[in-house]
A and B are shown apart, each in its own frame.
Chain A
Amino acid sequence: MFNKRKKSEKRLSEPVTQKDNTTQVPQGINKKLSENIFVLQQKFGKSFDLIIKETQVNGVNIAFVALDGMYNGLHASQSVVEPILNLHYPCGDPKELYEHICRSRASECDSKEAITIDNAIEFILSGFVVLFVDEVTVCRAYSVQGYVKRSVEPPESESQENGSREGFVDMYKDNVTLVRRRLKSPYIRFETLSVGKTSNTQVCICYHAERADPVIVNNVTDRLKNADFDIVPGAGALRPFLEEKRLSFFTTVGTTERPDVFAAKLSEGRVGIIVDGTPYALIVPHLFIENFHSLDDYLNRPYYAAVTRFLKLICFFLAVFLPGTYVAVGTFHQEIFPSEIIADIVSSLQNTPFPLIIESAIIHFIYEIVREAGLRMPKPVGHTVSIVGALVIGDAAVSAGLISAPMLIIVAITAICSAVLPPLHEPSAVLRFIFIVLGGTMGLYGIMLGFTIIAADLCSMNSFGVPFTSPFSPLDGYALRDSFIFAGWKKVGKRFIQIQKLRGTHTDGTE
């Protein structure tokens, strides 16, 4: 069976054009310009967007190579092409000409030297205009990128009442600027590496050099370097490489769309990962409690922050446990219902054809379908789906006697509560079904057993050596000031918290 699986994997991942198995030596830049152009044309094939402009400057053959749409035409023309074409340096020696170009002209924009063809291709693919000079074994790449990109917009998934209206965008360099503007310290480091054999996605590792634990920084870098990828579709794809190698409902990698939140996390000694093409960033180490935090908590009055955080905690518990508990109580422990309403509940349950567990599973399943449809459909249609879903399920199903009215109330509460905590939507959606099954088969005993396993699972998790359940277990008195309560800036702001110094942390690489 395993052999079959391996064969299938090999068949699916085999490249169409067979490469020879000999180790590939980086191909240097040829002396002959025509050779270099030939190699580039071979590599890019019939791609229409490859632009190669051959010309002469003072009798020396040169060529500009770029990808259409990836560079800013005006900028390239004014800063690179025109100054070079208008150059008067009648020496006739190509090498001297190249040196002269590098030294004196076209220096308005940032430029880098490439010594291999692959290196040059990398620049071309990144939107640089690359200059090849005949008889010269290096080339010059000019940074005149200018592709279509989204401007800075308010973050959609993390909208706040009082916070900044700036959210991360797709371009990683823009995101770095957004963070730099908030942390004007030379100790903030942004190191890039390329991930993905085909996509060569730029991944930027950000940290505070004085506060971040070097072991964590190195660990993150190593894990990303060793990540076996072909393409990186988004930052989320890197998450499994940063998580512990285990199955769990919860993630130990945080995400944010907000540069202000990202900057605050860096200042606590965490490591951030910005991925080119993704409008949100990853943060490690990440704690469970952080799922209940939002920027507004820090900007509102502390007592209100405590109230909202407790509210979120209750919402999480309701979103996960309410349907299962209702099924458990309705099936096994009816005596818990207050005597005033027990008759109504029991009569409504008796009027429905399905057992409570099936009824609950069906209604939650339909709710998830409606939610998914509303999320994926174009916005105007999404609203229609919601209305139809609400009308059909809410009214018609109860009138038809398919679903009991109390169950509908339970679904509504669960749906609203799960919307309060977007970071925990995934685990709560799945756990809800598990607890429905546990509650329907073993009653409250099953719910409690499930809770114990979830608690043990959460407690066994570490995020880069930092206990996931910190600062509660292991208990850390000082860090509790910013947990389910927020003690206020006068107390919390005095000193900064370094994440790796939380109790129970062991960042020695053994998790």
Chain B
Amino acid sequence: MELNKKITPFQFFTLLFLSRVFAMVTYIAGINKELSTTDEVIASAFTGLFLFLSAVPVVLFLKRDNESGIIKRASCLSESFSKIICVFYLIEALYFGTITAVRFGIFTGSVMFPDTNMGFFIFIMLAASSYIALKGIESAGRSSVIILIPVLFALIFVFTTQSDDFDLLNFTHPFTDKLTDIISSGFYSASRTGELAFIILLTPYVKKLKGRHIYLWISAVTILILITEIVLAGVLGRFGGTQLFSMYSLSVLAEAGFIERLDAIITCIWLLCAALKIAVIIFVSEMLFSSLFGKQKRLLFTAISCAVIFFGSIPLINNISGFISLIRSPVHPILFITGVCVIPSVTMLYERIKRRKKE
């Protein structure tokens, strides 16, 4: 049965928070320009700053109307404009979905089950995520609150059990690297937050969405990234930069009493976030497909979204260097800026012009 009721801002931002957690725990070293440990922390602060700044158009967009999403508002202006926006966000959603699936595939295939078919794991994950997406945003929103508990517990466990290994000597002198490199690293990291674009798309599904909710979410994400970077720098030092997944390396070191290896459990808990993240992306894609074709064929559109993500990820999972160069390419920032800043601003401007014309 469809459950497309409105969810609370808390559920919505928990969903987006978990989505960002997955991006954080599967951060692949080498995606950004390699920085010294302290500069990585500074770059994280810049990430937060860029997120705050890029959220301004989104907040302004919601200030005017927090009931209808960007697609509906665009369709009120012009049908063709709405279609163009739909196509753009659909490409963005499927792109982010593919990137997430590849990250997941590489993570499971390299650290959890080496020498196994990564495509199989992606396929299973897509099937589970499609199931959640078909249950509706309400189901995903409610699940996120439940899943948040073990995820936070796992993160706190990893952070707190490293206190003995935390060494201030691992921190380098600030600004060892060029400021431009630090800023660009922070910006690239912020551009991987595709969730900001989902806010204006999923507005109709959230009750009384306000700007302060967005800023609270960005604050939570920034704090988490900062804590992670500080712990990574303090515990792993420069060794972290040599690891494919530095958060995984950190989890390997976590132990509880007589149980010395808990990384398998911790990483599995983190993978819960992947299921939700892909579910949200599939839900958004399905919603955009429906808007584009004006038909409510949920099963078909979900299947198409899954197929695109699956077949898009297959060539990339066996070619990590190609995947890294794709992420390093300007595709990410372009999609991010266009989706979060340009389109909402243009829509608001268009609305203003149309209103003035009427007056």
Contact = CB atoms under 8 A, between A and B. Distances in A.
A455 B147 contact: yes
A56 interface: no
A378 interface: no
B268 A339 contact: no
Contacts of A511: 1, 3
B119 to A, nearest CB: 14
B164 interface: no
Interface stretch (B131-139, B179-187, B300-308): B131-139
Contacts of A506: 5
Contact of A244 (B1, B112, B139): B1
B115 interface: no
Given A335-B264, A339-B260, A456 B135 contact: yes
A475 interface: yes
A473 B135 contact: no
B217 interface: no
Nearest to B258: A338
Interface stretch (B26-34, B49-57, B59-67, B269-277): B269-277
A452 B1 contact: no
Contacts of B264: 329, 332-333, 335-336, 443-444
B272 A451 contact: yes
A511 B4 CA distance: 9
B145 A472 contact: yes
Contacts of B276: 452
Interface stretch (B88-96, B121-129, B346-354): B121-129
Interface in A327-353: 329, 332-333, 335-336, 338-340
Contact of B261 (A244, A336, A446, A455): A336
B169 interface: no
Contacts of B279: 456
B259 interface: yes
A329 B125 CA distance: 20
The A interface is mostly helix, strand or loop, or mixed, namely helix
Contacts of A339: 258, 260
B132 A456 contact: yes
Given A449-B275, A456-B140, A457-B135, A246 B1 contact: yes
Contacts of A245: 1
A213 to B, nearest CB: 17
B281 to A, nearest CB: 15
Given A336-B261, A452-B272, A473 B1 contact: no
B291 interface: no
A329 B262 CA distance: 11
Interface string B12-29: 000000000000000000
Interface in B278-322: 279
Interface string A449-470: 1011101110110100001010
Interface residues of B, number: 41
Contact of B143 (A338, A445, A452): A452
A447 B261 contact: no
Interface in A204-263: 244-246
Contacts of B143: 452, 455-456, 459, 473
Nearest to B148: A473
B254 to A, nearest CB: 12
A340 to B, nearest CB: 7
A455 B112 CA distance: 23
B108 to A, nearest CB: 6
Given A339-B260, A475-B10, A469 B146 contact: yes
B131 A456 contact: yes
B146 A460 contact: no
Nearest to A443: B113
B251 interface: no
Nearest to B10: A475
Contacts of A502: none
Nearest to B261: A335
A39 interface: no
Contact of B262 (A336, A455, A473): A336
A448 interface: yes
B142 interface: yes
Contacts of A444: 264-265, 268
A332 B276 CA distance: 24
Contact of A474 (B11, B108, B124, B147): B11
B128 A460 contact: no
B8 interface: yes
A442 interface: yes
Interface string B242-265: 000000000000000011111011
Nearest to B139: A460
Contact of B258 (A332, A340, A455, A459): A340
Given A333-B264, A335-B264, A453-B128, A459 B142 contact: yes
A459 B146 contact: yes
A510 B144 CA distance: 23
A504 B7 CA distance: 8
A336 B268 CA distance: 13
Given A444-B264, A445-B113, A449-B125, A473 B271 contact: no
B138 A460 contact: yes
B159 to A, nearest CB: 20
B145 A473 contact: yes
Contacts of A474: 7-8, 11, 142, 145
A276 B101 CA distance: 55
A335 B255 CA distance: 12
B269 A448 contact: yes
B142 A445 contact: no
A467 B6 CA distance: 13
A340 B259 CA distance: 10
A451 to B, nearest CB: 7
Contacts of A442: 121, 124
A443 B264 CA distance: 9
A445 B108 contact: yes
Contacts of A459: 135, 138-143, 146
A506 to B, nearest CB: 6
Nearest to B252: A335
Given A451-B272, A456-B132, A459-B142, A445 B112 contact: yes
A456 B138 CA distance: 9
Sort A-B residue pairs by CB-CB distance and give the 6 closest, nearest first. Answer: A459-B142, A460-B139, A460-B135, A473-B145, A473-B142, A333-B264
11 contacts: A246-B1, A333-B264, A335-B264, A336-B259, A447-B268, A452-B275, A453-B131, A460-B142, A474-B8, A504-B5, A504-B142
Interface of A: 244-246, 329, 332-333, 335-336, 338-340, 442-449, 451-453, 455-457, 459-460, 462, 467, 469, 472-475, 503-504, 506, 511
Given A329-B264, A444-B265, 16 more contacts: A244-B1, A335-B264, A336-B265, A444-B264, A445-B121, A448-B269, A459-B141, A460-B3, A460-B139, A469-B142, A473-B146, A474-B7, A474-B8, A504-B8, A506-B5, A511-B1
